[in-house]
């Protein structure tokens, strides 16, 4: 079983901290002499290289104390990084996966396990779902209303320039490091309508502003403020979420963080926005926390629908950034741990009553191809869920691509950031 994807999607935080601090590194090494570790693992196809790209300590091992030979190449920033205990000092020069691999739970299998033999997804009995019935899973972990007829009748946009050669493997994070946002955890708040919309909007604004605005946007802002009849944590529609992003705008996730308890009185909308008459909106109140000072409002263009054609979706992602997808969730999806998800119809009589579906909204952020056991090629999407990093492949999942698995290709939505000319980089 190969579960390296968890590391492939590198922890944004660690990477950011690392990138910030790399220049402060006090290690004196000769990169030529020290970069002597075994590289054979990195040879092979472009795909394979891409796979190992995010794996540092995982490929090269962890070391105790100070070991200046315990170094590998950090490709994304063309520098060296370390997997020894010493790297964890104030000016950290640890590899991005040091904490998760060397310090985290050692649940990883040795990398000698061939990555290409996996053609079936694996399940896990998640502790976060213990004590929850399936009905409750459907009720609290999803929360996107079926798309409205208006949304479904939207014209598909295919304005993207015709591309050339789509790579076999693509992750938005590699093209736009630091500009795309990893999965949050909606907990028992049925608001994937808000989480997926805020996340797609945040990525799009960062990409469009060329990194000037990289804040993640606040799902709580949507949950608390975007609801005529206030049912934020008990489902919502993405039409409404995009309407709010266009007309009212959202503050950052840091400014308006996710509330632990959605049922308390303080989940009333903490701020509104008003126009300054020149097309820009401003928050009416400071952030509802003492740490974040910036209550800048971010807005989007009206959403547009991308064609359901696999190639068109890929083109849209590689040119403009991640997109929102609506999918049907079956009972087995909750237990997904790794691999390429496809719904497995249960023959178990007991679970037949659970053969129902609910709608969920997620973020498509890349794709790839894997060779299955019989040499069969399996194409997949790489998708960000909103059930935290402990679910699936570090919060992401892969799902069959090109066959409308679980309706994942049925409705693809994206939008542009609304940046005024003074916002342009």
Ligand X SMILES: *[C@@H]1O[C@H](CO)[C@@H](O)[C@H](O)[C@H]1NC(C)=O
Task: State the catalytic residues.
Answer: 360, 385
Q: Which stretch binds ligand X (CB under 6 A): 170-178, 274-282, 304-312, 380-388?
A: 304-312
Report, in Å, the least distance between residue 21 CB and ligand X: 30
Residue of 113, 122, 188, 369 that binds ligand X (CB under 6 A):
188
Q: Which residue has the tokens 């959605």?
A: 262
Q: Residue 23 or residue 130: which is nearer to ligand X going by CB?
A: 130
**Residue 122 touches ligand X, criterion: CB under 6 A:** no
Locate 213 and state its tokens. Answer: 């605005």
Total interface residues for ligand X by CB under 6 A = 14
Q: Are 146 and 193 in contact (CB under 8 A)?
A: no
Q: Alpha-carbon distance 8 to 328, whole Å?
A: 26
**Residue 309 touches ligand X, criterion: CB under 6 A:** yes
Residue of 122, 289, 404, 420 that binds ligand X (CB under 6 A):
404
| Region 362-401 residues binding ligand X, contact defined as CB under 6 A | none
**Residue 263 touches ligand X, criterion: CB under 6 A:** yes
Q: Which stretch binds ligand X (CB under 6 A): 19-27, 203-211, 309-317, 318-326?
A: 309-317
- The answer for residues whose C-beta is within 8 angstroms of residue 360's C-beta and 6 or more apart is 142, 143, 144, 192, 326, 327, 328, 329
Report, in Å, the least distance between residue 40 CB and ligand X: 5
Report, in Å, the least distance between residue 85 CB and ligand X: 22
Report, in Å, the least distance between residue 223 CB and ligand X: 12
Cβ burial of 153 (10 Å; 0-12, 13-18, 19+) is: exposed
Q: How far is CA 393 from the centre of its chain?
A: 10
Q: Residue 68 or residue 407: which is nearer to ligand X going by CB?
A: 407
DSSP string for residues in 86-144: GGGSSS--B-TTIIIIIIS---PPPTTS-TTS--S-EE---GGGTT--HHHHHHHS--B
- Please name which of 239, 244, 249, 307 lies closest in space to residue 274, comparing C-alpha atoms: 249
Report, in Å, the least distance between residue 10 CB and ligand X: 23
CA atoms within 13 A of residue 80's CA, in its CB half-sphere: 23
**Residue 48 touches ligand X, criterion: CB under 6 A:** no
- The answer for residues whose C-beta is within 8 angstroms of residue 4's C-beta and 6 or more apart is 51, 52, 54, 55, 58, 111, 115
Locate 356 and state its tokens. Answer: 């129902």
- The answer for residues whose C-beta is within 8 angstroms of residue 191's C-beta and 6 or more apart is 143, 219, 222, 223, 232, 233, 235, 236
Report, in Å, the least distance between residue 303 CB and ligand X: 18
Q: Residue 40 or residue 153: which is nearer to ligand X going by CB?
A: 40
Q: Residue 59 or residue 208: which is nearer to ligand X going by CB?
A: 59
Q: Are 172 and 365 in contact (CB under 8 A)?
A: yes
**Residue 125 touches ligand X, criterion: CB under 6 A:** yes
| Region 406-425 residues binding ligand X, contact defined as CB under 6 A | 407, 409-410
Q: Residue 97 or residue 405: which is nearer to ligand X going by CB?
A: 405
Q: Which stretch binds ligand X (CB under 6 A): 149-157, 196-204, 369-377, 404-412?
A: 404-412
| Region 17-46 residues binding ligand X, contact defined as CB under 6 A | 38, 40
Report, in Å, the least distance between residue 407 CB and ligand X: 4
Q: Alpha-carbon distance 39 to 33, whole Å?
A: 14
Q: Residue 142 or residue 287: which is nearer to ligand X going by CB?
A: 142
Residue of 88, 312, 332, 423 that binds ligand X (CB under 6 A):
312
Q: Alpha-carbon distance 205 to 185, whole Å?
A: 21
Locate 105 and state its tokens. Answer: 């739970």
**Residue 209 touches ligand X, criterion: CB under 6 A:** no
**Residue 130 touches ligand X, criterion: CB under 6 A:** yes
**Residue 49 touches ligand X, criterion: CB under 6 A:** no
Q: Are 117 and 32 in contact (CB under 8 A)?
A: no
Report, in Å, the least distance between residue 409 CB and ligand X: 5
Residues forming contacts to ligand X in the complex (CB under 6 A) are 38, 40, 125, 130, 188, 263, 308-309, 311-312, 404, 407, 409-410
């Amino acid at each position: 079983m190969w579960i390296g994807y968890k590391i492939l999607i590198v922890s944004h935080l660690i990477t950011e901290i690392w990138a910030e601090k790399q220049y402060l590194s006090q290690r004196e090494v000769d990169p030529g002499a020290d970069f002597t570790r075994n590289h054979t693992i990195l040879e092979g196809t472009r795909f394979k290289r891409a796979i190992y790209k995010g794996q540092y300590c995982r490929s090269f091992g962890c070391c105790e104390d100070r070991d200046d030979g315990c170094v590998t190449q950090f490709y994304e920033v063309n520098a060296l990084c370390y997997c020894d205990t010493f790297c964890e000092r104030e000016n950290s020069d640890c590899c991005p996966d040091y904490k998760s691999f060397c310090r985290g739970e050692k649940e990883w299998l040795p990398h000698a396990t061939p990555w290409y033999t996996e053609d079936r997804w694996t399940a896990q009995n998640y502790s976060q779902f213990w004590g929850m019935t399936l009905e409750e899973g459907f009720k609290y972990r999803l929360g996107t209303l079926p798309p409205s007829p208006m949304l479904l009748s939207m014209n598909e946009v295919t304005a993207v320039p015709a591309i050339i050669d789509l790579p076999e493997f693509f992750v938005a994070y590699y093209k736009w490091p630091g500009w795309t946002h990893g999965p949050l955890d909606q907990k028992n708040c049925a608001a994937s309508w808000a989480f997926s919309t805020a996340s797609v909007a945040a990525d799009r604004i960062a990409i469009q502003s060329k990194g000037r605005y990289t804040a993640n946007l606040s799902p709580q802002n949507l949950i608390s403020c975007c609801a005529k009849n206030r049912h934020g944590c008990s489902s919502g529609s993405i039409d409404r979420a995009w309407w709010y992003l266009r007309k009212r705008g959202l503050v950052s996730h840091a400014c308006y963080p996710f509330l632990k308890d959605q049922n308390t009185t303080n989940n009333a909308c903490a701020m509104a926005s008003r126009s300054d008459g020149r097309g820009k909106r401003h928050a009416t109140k400071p952030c509802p926390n003492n740490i974040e000072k910036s209550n800048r409002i971010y807005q989007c263009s009206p959403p547009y629908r991308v064609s359901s054609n696999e190639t068109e979706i890929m083109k849209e992602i590689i040119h403009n950034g991640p997109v929102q997808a609506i999918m049907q969730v079956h009972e087995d999806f909750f237990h997904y741990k790794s691999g390429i998800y496809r719904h497995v119809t249960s023959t178990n009589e007991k679970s037949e009553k659970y053969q129902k579906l609910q709608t969920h909204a997620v973020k498509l952020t890349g794709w790839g191809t894997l060779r299955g056991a019989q040499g069969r090629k399996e194409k997949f999407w790489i998708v960000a869920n909103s059930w935290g990093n402990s679910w699936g492949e570090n919060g992401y999942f892969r799902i069959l691509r090109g066959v409308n698995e679980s309706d994942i290709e049925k409705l693809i939505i994206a939008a542009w950031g609304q940046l005024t000319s003074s916002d342009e980089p």
